[in-house]
Structure 1
Amino acid sequence: MQHTNHLRDRVRRRLGHGLVVAAALCLVASAAPQLASARSGSAQAGPIKPERVCSEPAAHHAACLAILDRDANGAALTPAAARALDLHPFMAADLQSAYKLPSALLGGRQTIAIIDAFDDPFAESDLAVYRAANNLPACDADNPCFRKVNQRGGDTPPQANTEWAAEISLDLDMASAACPNCRLLLVEADDNDTANLGAAVDEAVRLGATIISNSYGAPEYPSELVEAGDHYNHPGTTILASTGDSGYGVAVPAALSTVVAVGGTTLYEDSNARGWSETAWAGAGSGCSAYVAKPAWQKDRACGKRTVADVAAVADPHTPVAVYDTFGFNGWIALGGTSAASPLLAGVYALAGNAGVVNTSSRLYAHSTGLFDVTTGATGNCGGSYLCTAVRKYDGPTGLGTPNGIGAF
């Protein structure tokens, strides 16, 4: 108990006192070196208004799952305000350290597809700034590691959208952070209609993606298997999906048993042997699907159908990641949400190099000792059940745990 209290105190000191459930900051490009090194200072919490990046979707449409904060006046947080709140967004080196990733060595033959809606006209140039600031290989003529297409594989982009552009930047940056040697394929759906997003997944498979990340979700609905199931069932391609940012409850496509459902954690530096600790993030989606049958490799007993999540990574906007976006923002921003976790885990799968031969999530369940087990935190009130409460071994919020290198993948 004393150790638990010690960790809780460390989290409080890092996150500040009285912070709400999401945070983000806008930074000028010249602040990147400060982001990379800042890790101390007492927090003076001020009023923060959490805000989803994407608007609530209509029926049969999906929302992106990134979160940012604005101050009491509705403005994005400034660098000074962020420092006062002790929010120091994680750069690529931090994430590689936290999850013990051999990022510099592997991934050169892997293609990660990022599926999003609408167009980010500055996706390539913004990605270049992020990669340069993080000392990652440039995507250029000598290393053509970035390609953008529409949902039919063509070069004509869909309508631009500032909300989804921030999501696109987050996804590309997190995939790059985990696997800087990977090729990135951005497939932009015509809009956020679930049918168009599914078509974009199909196109990514046709174009040779080995791993596909989907950082969006829609509430479950009775016909989800009929309408979406085939789009997210491509043997030979590992498909990941964020579980959501609304706490206890299940979203689709994460509910589908053919995808790896990625939950979220609060990640913070610690004095233990790992150097980092994690708790389940309260906003991460988790629970029991209403419609999807339980896959044979899930053995938990409180849910007769598909249980969400399978695995997790950092998602709490209190411990955000640094992202560079200039279509709607002024450069460096800090974002959270399970939108950060899915592309990061896509990069981990790519580092492992066998995404085309593993059976999606089932390998994780057979190799769970290769993960960091997250045993504290909760995503809601479910009577203390593992469906919304982190426990030893499997639980809904974090699945089997978070990456400890690439062995489990």
Structure 2
Amino acid sequence: MRKQLLAVALAATATTGLVATATTSASAASPRAHAARVCSAPTSPTVAACDALKLVDDHGTAVSPSGRTVTPSAISGKTPTDIQSAYKLSGLSAGGRTVAIVDAYGYSKAEQDLAVYRSQWGLPACTTANGCLKILNQTGGTSLPRYDNGWAQEQALDLDAVSAACPSCKIVLVQASSSSLTNLGTAVNTAAKQPGVVAISNSYGGGDLADSSYGSYYNHPGIAVTASTGDNGYQGGSFPASSHYVTAVGGTSLYAASNTRGWTESAWSGAGSGCTTLNAAPSGQTTAMTNCSGRAIADVSAVADPNTGLAVYAPSTKTTSGWAQYGGTSLSSPLVASVYALSGNTAGYANTLPYANSSGLFDVTSGSNGTCASWCTAGTGWDGPTGLGTPNGTSAF
């Protein structure tokens, strides 16, 4: 990088994701920005890991895509205006509908940190006092689980992603007691019972499991249940994304462009995809389309590449928080859940809607997440990393 720079400025550089800078020192910056998992890897197929990735340097310090250190007051990443512009959501209203977020463990500063995020971008307040935000444990009570820093960052990403795509959405955050799929599934059932909930986002995954064992937790016709496909590229099935009942959400890289849309997307190299024979495909997804005799993932996608990810106000420790740039399919799942909430059209199984209305999507036709056939390489129509494409307004949902 150049000589030491001290500046306080606002900028918008969508090709790098850098939207604001504050006083920084070039000597403190790392030239090797990379994405780091914030949650521990699962210990068994029935224990989930969150799919959030944070852009950091070799010391674990938050950085921008350029490698410049992000101080607590600096902001790097996509803004709500960027997200709404890219997916044609500007000016839309959820009409009082609610998105539920299901994650594991506690996050004691969730409401406080969300307030900072929404204030930064001029979004309406979303608090427990005004009825916009509700935080529950997995059985619907208010005695919340113990704190976990990785899962707390996941929750911050989810809350900010819903706020970015749908500022008018109400939010229910349900915190499971642990990351076991039994506890997370119990939390999904609790989320489905909350008044006004039309979409439930699940930014985590475990092994490839059968609906006959765990699918009942995610079987909620009339509610759009979304799930991240994972951040490890082509990998086969990952539950709950591989469930017959959910919308499996893959990932893209999103850049500003001088085209009619104003943006361009390609398949993100980390976007999870695959084929499982344990579960049946959703209606509209055919073997001829996917070359999979069972359920193939993804169905749809949205930005997930941490290098083009979202600016998030998240905890660094239990008592301190700051800005960092996050991605992973943990970002794309709550974005798509928010689009479902904006559409209000979730009758029956919501994962069938994009297959019946694919003209309402931006088809992603470049990029790959590995070396295989249609499960790895983006192309016209359905492909593994990006599914049928990304939201172009709400008509596909």
Matched to 2:193, the amino acid is R
Which sits farther off after the overlay, 39-48 or 306-315? 39-48
Q: Deviation string for 1:15-37 (max 9, x for gaps)?
A: x9xxxxxxxxxxxxx98x83x63
Which of 149, 157, 162 is 2:149 aligned to? 162
Matched to 1:365, the amino acid is Y
Equivalence for 1:370: 360
Which of 203, 209, 212 is 1:226 aligned to? 212
- Structure 2 CA distance for aligned equivalents of residues 235 and 41 of structure 1: 39
Structure 1 segment 333-348 matched on structure 2, within 5 A: 333-348=324-339
Instruction: Give the Å deviation of 1:154.
Output: 0.5
Matched to 2:342, the amino acid is L
Contact in 1 for aligned 2:17/2:65 (Cα 8 Å): no
Counterpart check, 1:401 vs 2:372: no
Equivalence for 2:315: 326
Q: Equivalent pairs: percent with the same residue?
A: 46
- Structure 2 CA distance for aligned equivalents of residues 41 and 113 of structure 1: 31
- Structure 2 CA distance for aligned equivalents of residues 170 and 305 of structure 1: 32
Matched to 2:388, the amino acid is L
Structure 1 segment 3-402 matched on structure 2, within 5 A: 34=10, 37-39=12-14, 46-59=31-44, 60-72=46-58, 74-78=59-63, 82-83=67-68, 88-102=76-90, 104-140=91-127, 143-208=130-195, 209-221=197-209, 224-249=210-235, 250-301=237-288, 302-328=291-317, 330-355=321-346, 357-382=347-372, 385-402=373-390
Instruction: Give the Å deviation of 1:402.
Output: 0.3
Which sits farther off after the overlay, 303-312 or 288-297? 288-297
Instruction: Give the Å deviation of 1:48.
Output: 3.3
What SS is found at the alignment partner of 1:307? strand
Count of aligned residue pairs for this structure pair: 371
Matched to 1:247, the amino acid is G
Q: Deviation string for 1:100-144 (max 9, x for gaps)?
A: 103x44103211100000001000010111111111110247742
Q: Deviation string for 1:151-184 (max 9, x for gaps)?
A: 0110100011100000000001001111111110
Matched to 2:335, the amino acid is L
Give unpaired runs (5+ residues) of structure 2: 2-6, 19-28
- Structure 1 CA distance for aligned equivalents of residues 170 and 388 of structure 2: 28
- CA gap of 1:81–1:366, structure 2 versus 1, over 3 A, is closer
Q: Deviation string for 1:196-247 (max 9, x for gaps)?
A: 00000000111232110000001214xx323311000011111000000000
Matched to 1:292, the amino acid is N
What SS is found at the alignment partner of 1:109? coil
What SS is found at the alignment partner of 1:210? strand
Contact in 2 for aligned 1:122/1:327 (Cα 8 Å): no
- CA gap of 1:394–1:162, structure 2 versus 1, over 3 A, is same
Q: Deviation string for 1:326-353 (max 9, x for gaps)?
A: 3526311110100000001111111111
State the Cα RMSD in Å.
2.5
- Structure 1 CA distance for aligned equivalents of residues 393 and 64 of structure 2: 32
- CA gap of 1:69–1:79, structure 2 versus 1, over 3 A, is closer
Matched to 2:331, the amino acid is A
What SS is found at the alignment partner of 2:308? coil
Instruction: Give the Å deviation of 1:49.
Output: 4.4
